């Protein structure tokens, strides 16, 4: 269905945001079962589902920053109050989350990894006083307090303020970008030129490994800052039309890049790859990130550009689900541990229970003003979604 309403509201951006945030639940459940480091680990952890995790790992958060940039453009268009509204929606839930929602994650992490035997109250005393003595054998220490999965909220708030400042200093930049991207463009521009910044950003990964430390995380700033800016400037442009036009090619390239990366990781699992090949595969990773985002946006604009009661209900709910979900997953793993369920059954149960409990949490707090603000639930109609930016580009 490719329905464009009379108001030309870009409903597909709401659907993308819902689906991208929703994807984080199975992904973080998967982190419990893979060999990669995470807060708590299953006894059944292996590399079995890692290829599936790599399919979404390069692009799922980048998509959220792109959509976040487009949402910021809509809010900037409203005029006054941008900084205050972004702070209320992002910074307040971040601070609340760091001191109320997140702490069970590092608590169980130090219990299971370092054998910490203190109570939760003992741990919280260390947490709020910035204790840095929880260190592993590799010498890495846990920084407390921490924002863990809420790093996304911190980055989005900072990028939003940078976008606001850019808007004030250079008010005509978006119009210039819209004219530029609205010129006749083809596959080479859409699938390669717009991917080059992400390919270049990936080259920084060895110098600046992903740490989610806001002041020293330049690889992530390079990729996510670019995508946020692209969404900010391109929200009213022909960018979405190009993505829709080349969505099938983008999907094919993304799947091809994924297959190449899986082969590369398997071939060089135990040996060091040649440096030239390593740099090339980083370009492939950056390409996968862009092509998957292009395919997601293109297919969403083609098939999800319509309103629905579910969209109106889920749009204000999904950010609350995001804030709660990782702590809920960690707590559920501890509750299910005595049952010794098979990994597949346990994993599916974790996904279902996490969605159910997080949505229940939203239902319980959405009508309580203080709790609503603390969990980032937008005010207004109980089931209303934030308006998407209007569209000047023609729909195809």
The label of the residue with tokens 């569209």 reads 391
Percentages (nearest 5) of helix, strand, coil residues in the chain: 65, 0, 30
Report the alpha-carbon distance of residue 50 to residue 33 in Å, rounded: 9
Report the alpha-carbon distance of residue 330 to residue 151 in Å, rounded: 17
Task: Calculate helix-pair angle for 218-234, 275-303, nearest 10 degrees.
Answer: 30
- pLDDT at position 359 is 98
Domain carrying residue 222: 11-102+147-374
How many domains does one find in the chain? Answer: 1
Phi, psi of 172 (to 5 degrees): -90, 5
User: Each residue's pLDDT tens digit in the chain (396 positions)?
Assistant: 333 333 467 999 999 999 999 999 999 999 999 999 999 999 999 999 999 999 999 999 999 999 999 999 999 988 779 999 999 999 999 999 999 999 999 999 999 999 999 999 999 999 999 999 999 888 889 999 999 999 999 999 999 999 999 999 998 999 999 999 999 999 999 999 999 999 999 999 999 999 999 999 999 999 999 999 999 999 999 999 999 999 999 999 999 999 999 999 999 999 999 999 999 999 999 999 999 999 999 999 999 999 999 999 999 999 999 999 999 999 999 999 999 999 999 999 999 999 999 999 999 999 999 999 999 997 644 333 334 333 333 332
Neighbours of 36 (CB within 10 A): 13
**Residue 386 falls inside a structural domain:** no
**Residue 111 falls inside a structural domain:** no
- pLDDT at position 8 is 65
Report the alpha-carbon distance of residue 376 to residue 360 in Å, rounded: 15
Written as six digits, the tokens of 65 are: 């920053």
Phi, psi of 36 (to 5 degrees): -70, 155
| Burial class of residue 206 in the structure, from the number of CB atoms within 10 Å of its CB (0-12 exposed, 13-18 middle, 19+ buried) | exposed
**Residue 229 falls inside a structural domain:** yes
- pLDDT at position 379 is 61
- pLDDT at position 396 is 29
Report the alpha-carbon distance of residue 61 to residue 49 in Å, rounded: 19
- pLDDT at position 327 is 98
Report the alpha-carbon distance of residue 4 to residue 388 in Å, rounded: 13
**Residue 163 falls inside a structural domain:** yes
**Residue 392 falls inside a structural domain:** no
| Burial class of residue 263 in the structure, from the number of CB atoms within 10 Å of its CB (0-12 exposed, 13-18 middle, 19+ buried) | exposed
Q: CA-based angle 229:234:238, to the nearest 5?
A: 155
Phi, psi of 184 (to 5 degrees): -55, 120
How far separated are the first and last CA of the chain, in Å rounded? Answer: 12
**Residue 388 falls inside a structural domain:** no
Instruction: Say if residues 62 and 227 touch (Cβ distance below 8 Å).
Output: yes
Report the alpha-carbon distance of residue 9 to residue 238 in Å, rounded: 15
**Residue 127 falls inside a structural domain:** no
**Residue 348 falls inside a structural domain:** yes
């Amino acid at each position: 269905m490719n329905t464009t309403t009379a108001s030309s509201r870009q409903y597909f951006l709401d659907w993308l945001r819902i689906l991208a945030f929703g994807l984080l639940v199975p992904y973080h459940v998967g982190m419990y079962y893979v060999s990669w480091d995470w807060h708590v680990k299953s006894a059944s952890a292996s590399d079995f589902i890692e290829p599936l995790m790599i399919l979404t790992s390069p692009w799922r958060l980048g998509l959220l920053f792109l959509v976040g940039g487009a949402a910021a453009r809509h809010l900037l268009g409203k005029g006054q109050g941008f900084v205050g509204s972004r702070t209320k929606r992002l910074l307040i839930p971040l601070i609340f989350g760091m001191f109320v929602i997140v702490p069970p994650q590092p608590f169980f992490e130090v219990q299971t990894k370092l054998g910490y035997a203190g109570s939760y109250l003992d741990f919280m005393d260390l947490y709020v006083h910035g204790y840095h003595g929880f260190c592993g054998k590799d010498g890495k220490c846990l920084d407390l307090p921490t924002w863990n999965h809420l790093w996304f909220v911190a980055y989005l708030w900072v990028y939003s303020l940078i976008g606001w400042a850019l808007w004030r200093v250079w008010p005509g930049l978006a119009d210039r970008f819209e004219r530029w991207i609205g010129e006749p463009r083809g596959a080479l521009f859409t699938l390669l030129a717009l991917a080059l910044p992400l390919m270049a950003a990936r080259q920084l990964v060895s110098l600046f490994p992903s740490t989610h430390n806001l002041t020293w995380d330049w690889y992530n700033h390079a990729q996510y800052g670019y995508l946020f800016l692209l969404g900010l400037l391109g929200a009213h442009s022909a960018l979405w039309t190009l993505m829709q036009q080349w969505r099938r090619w983008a999907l094919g390239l993304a799947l091809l890049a994924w297959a190449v990366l899986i082969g590369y990781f398997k071939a060089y699992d135990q040996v060091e790859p040649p440096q030239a090949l390593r740099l090339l595969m980083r370009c492939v990773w950056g390409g996968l990130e862009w092509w998957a985002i292009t395919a997601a946006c293109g297919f969403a604009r083609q098939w999800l550009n319509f309103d629905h009661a579910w969209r109106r209900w889920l749009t204000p709910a999904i950010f609350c689900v995001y804030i709660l979900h990782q702590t809920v997953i960690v707590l559920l793993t501890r509750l299910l541990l005595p049952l010794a369920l098979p990994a597949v059954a346990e994993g599916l149960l974790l996904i279902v229970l996490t969605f159910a409990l997080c949505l229940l949490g939203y239902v319980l707090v959405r009508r309580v003003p203080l709790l609503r603000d603390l969990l980032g639930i937008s005010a207004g109609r109980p089931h209303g979604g934030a308006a998407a930016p209007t569209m000047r580009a023609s729909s195809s």
